[in-house]
A = this chain, B = another copy of it.
Amino acid sequence: MGATKSDHFTQKQNDIAAIAKALAHPARVAILEYLLKVDACICGDIVNELPLAQPTVSQHLKELKTAGIISGNIEGNAICYCIDEKVWEKNRKIFETLFERINKKKTNCC
């Protein structure tokens, strides 16, 4: 097998898993941290910033784009990537909600 049985889970559960999956590689975390840092959407500098070949970076960017986390704008022959603030905020809330649920827990066995 190897294929995730996403049909059997709720939309919410699949959504959370999808966002987490986008963050589940240090290169993609590094890309996002870089985009957060530069306070502007510098483009192919990302390739220079990362210890990975250009096609690999391009692939990671594609995954982040597919997840909706970043978007790319053509600027001349370069492409300017940046974080989609709306999606970022939405995802922030999703994780906040998940992590806050622990408060409702009262008893414990371990």
Contact = CB atoms under 8 A, between A and B. Distances in A.
Contacts of A81: 110
Q: How large is the interface on A (under 10, 10 to 19, 20 to 34, 35 or more residues)?
A: 35 or more
Candidate in A22, A27, A85, A109 with the most chain B CB atoms within 10 angstroms: A109
B109 A99 contact: no
A77 interface: no
A41 B96 CA distance: 22
Given A82-B110, A88-B99, A107-B39, A20 B9 contact: no
Given A71-B110, A96-B96, A29 B51 contact: no
A39 B106 contact: yes
A83 B104 CA distance: 13
A98 B39 CA distance: 15
A80 interface: yes
A62 to B, nearest CB: 16
Given A24-B24, A99-B91, A102-B36, A110 B41 contact: yes
